[in-house]
Amino acid sequence: MAAFMKNGPADDTITFDLASDRVRELNAELHGVGGGPSGKVYEVLNPAGAHAVAAGIDRGISVDVRGHTGYYAAGMNDGGTVTIHGNAGTGVAENMMSGTVRVTGDASQSAGATAHGGLLVIGGSASMRCGISMKGVDIVVGGSVGSMSAFMAQAGRMVVCGDAGDGLGDSIYEARLYVRGAVGALGADCVEKPMRDEHRAELAELLAEADLDHDPGEFRRYGSARRLYHFTSEHSGSY
């Protein structure tokens, strides 16, 4: 097996170096092909923008990726804790079911796309279509998000500590969006909604989970106006 045990105080950590090891070998180990139990700790060195790093985890392990990743890092995560110490390419945490994915830097487009559960934290900013078709995931972005973020977002919560580009929440269903900064033109059927005590409490909890200390009172809430749930011919010009 290409993995080796680290020496020193954290000698129970299993390390893969993608300068010599293959992503296929890494992911096979993370998937428990060898019958390994949950609770293991892994470190991935020299990812160098490789695609699908730590994708498909289905058990409670911890993975620290030391560097930038390419497409679909930590995709389909179900129970793992993955930290990317750098930037992430398109589709990080795509279709995540549970667990936690953290990106210390920026994320490219479609971060958290179609994700059903778990927590995605992006320390920097995210590009366009962040949270597209999210289905229950919680996404917290320390910076800003690009255009068409939360497009067709069905369920879950998105927190943006910076600004949001045009088209936020276009065709949104029942996801809840919180934005601290400026918001461009809202997407179809997305409207600003009142911030009540329960929303401030919910937001405070999400910020704490993401290790951010912003004042929930600085955020505004957005959600569905519920005008697009049913097509009516007399209102066809609005669609």
Please, what are the domains in the chain?
4-223 (2.160.20.60)
Q: Is-contact 129 112, C-beta < 8 A?
A: no
Of the candidates 199, 233, 237, the one whose C-alpha atom is nearest the C-alpha of residue 216 is 199
Residues 142, 103: Cα–Cα separation, whole Å:
10
Which residues lie across from 178 on neighbouring strands?
A: 159, 221
> Residue 168: phi, psi to the nearest 5?
-55, 130
pTM: 0.91
Q: Is-contact 123 105, C-beta < 8 A?
A: yes
| 239 residues of the chain, pLDDT tens digit each | 444 444 434 458 999 999 999 999 999 999 885 555 668 999 999 999 999 999 999 999 999 999 999 999 999 999 999 999 999 999 999 999 999 999 999 999 999 999 999 999 999 999 999 999 999 999 999 999 999 999 999 999 999 999 999 999 999 999 999 999 999 999 999 999 999 999 999 999 999 999 999 999 999 999 999 987 765 656 556 55
Q: Give every CB contact of residue 45 below 8 A, 6+ residues apart in sequence.
A: 15, 16, 17, 18, 19, 66, 67
Which residues lie across from 168 on neighbouring strands?
A: 186
- Please measure the distance between the N-terminal and C-terminal CA atoms of the chain and give it in whole angstroms: 56
